[in-house]
Structure formats: structure tokens, C-alpha cells
A = this chain, B = another copy of it.
Amino acid sequence: MFRLRLGRLGLGQRCYAQTPKPPYWAVIFTSERTANSKGYDAMSQRMVQLAEQQPGFLGVESARETLGITVSYWASEEAIVAWKANASHVIAQEKGKRDWYKSYSTRICRVERDYRFQKHGEEHEETKIEY
């Protein structure tokens, strides 16, 4: 497995997910928040910690401006279904709909191919890994 970046920052949401060779699965969660942020950050961090303990969890990538995009990666579709049904996650989903999200969109995808680029050292030195 090619590691694009070694190590993790914080909860792993600010660096690349260390995914294996395809196929694997991705959940693209796009959301728009309400003005109510009470409890959101703590729950969000807790959900990442819980997901990391879930069988088949591969990693997560996240960014927010007006729209937030969180992509979590999974070894199988079954792993995604199990995570969706996780009791603590079900509670978080309900709180999310009631308090934190104006709207969201969830897309369950099979990752068929991927490729990565990383610049090494000075400009113009680069490595491209394509599966």
C-alpha cells in the first residue's frame, strides 16, 4: 500500500485516507449546516473515533466551506450498512437531522480506480502512482 502521507493529524480528517488498492467503497456525505452548532464538534469527533473502531473502516477525508464534504472509505458495502446501523451512530444521525443539518446528501459508491500524485523535494520532482 502506497502511503501518501505518513502519520495522521488530529482525528485523521485533515489528511488523506490511507486506502488500499481498489476495489473498496466510499460514502460521500455532503451537508449544509444549520446555525445550531451546540454539541456538533464533540459528536463529530466521537463519530470518527467510533467509525475507526468499526470493522472495515479504511479512513476519512473532510472539508467544509458553505458545503461540507466528508468522504469515509470502507472495505465492503456490508461494512457501510453495519456502520449506518451502529446504535450510537443512529442517535447521532437523528440529532443531526433535528439540530445540525439543513440538508444533506449521502452517496454510496464503489471505488473502481484511483491514482495519486505527490511532489517530492523541489519543484518538478514528482512521483505518480497509478494502479
Contacts and interface: CB of A to CB of B under 8 A. Distances in A.
Copies of chain A in the complex: 2
A28 B19 CA distance: 13
Interface residues of A, number: 49
Interface in A56-75: 61-69, 71
Nearest to A96: B117
A26 B28 CA distance: 9
Nearest to A71: B28
Interface of A: 4-5, 9, 14-17, 19, 22, 26, 28, 30, 32, 34, 61-69, 71, 77, 97-98, 101-119, 123-124, 126
27 contacts: A4-B103, A5-B103, A9-B66, A15-B66, A15-B67, A16-B32, A17-B30, A28-B28, A30-B61, A30-B71, A62-B65, A62-B69, A63-B63, A63-B67, A63-B69, A69-B69, A77-B112, A101-B119, A102-B119, A104-B117, A105-B116, A106-B116, A108-B113, A108-B114, A109-B109, A109-B110, A109-B111
